[in-house]
Amino acid sequence: MTIAQSFWKLINNSYGFYVFSNFTLFMDILVLRNFCLSKPFAYEDFPFDDTTLVFKVFDKMFALVSLDTIPLQISLKCDPQFAVQLREEHEFIRPGYHMNKKYWITVELLPKVADSFIFDLINHSYSEVIKKLPKKYQKQVLQARDE
């Protein structure tokens, strides 16, 4: 079992308290995970390796989190023009790591980056994926949001 798998097992079924040398890493991933999974039809997966947590909706990726980097990094789908603007305005946003640089950004989750800003970027990514899905899936998402 890798360190990332052990870490994931710990946060998924822990009843105790575990102290990490970088406690914000632990808090960030839990908050991030809960937010991503709160999206209609979202689920998590490890399709590439044991250290890249992927969040999907209807088998399409909308977020990838590198669990073995400090600070944590999240790659998100992004409108191409918005991606350019974000990269110009924020030094902690780069072209998507191992992704199509036109449509993906990678964000370093530094302490100075507000959770609300990250949540907005995740919402944007999720919306970018949803709008490319077949209409029947888009309708299911809209219905789930209304409930």
For residue 76 the two structure tokens come to 């998100």
List the domain range (segments joined by +) for residue 46. 3-146
Query: In terms of pLDDT, which residue wins out, 132 or 20?
Result: 132
Of 100, 141, 113, 102, give the one whose Cα is nearest residue 32. 113
Confidence of residue 9 (pLDDT cuts 50, 70, 90): low
* pTM of structure: 0.81
pLDDT average, residue stretch 62-79: 91
Of 106, 103, 108, give the one whose Cα is nearest residue 132. 103
pLDDT average, residue stretch 129-141: 94
Q: How far apart are CA 131 and CA 126, in angstroms?
A: 9
Residue 63, domain CATH:
3.90.1150.30
pLDDT of 14 > 50? The answer is no
Give 95-116 pLDDT, tens digit per residue: 887 777 778 999 998 888 888 8
pLDDT of 28 > 80? The answer is no
pLDDT of 16 > 70? The answer is no
Would you state the pLDDT for residue 12?
54
pLDDT of 23 > 70? The answer is no
Query: In terms of pLDDT, which residue wins out, 30 or 106?
Result: 106
CA 10 to the chain's CA centroid: 19
pLDDT average, residue stretch 5-16: 48
Does residue 119 contact residue 46 with C-beta atoms inside 8 Å? no
Q: How many domains does the chain have?
A: 1
pLDDT of 2 > 80? The answer is no
β partners of residue 94? 106
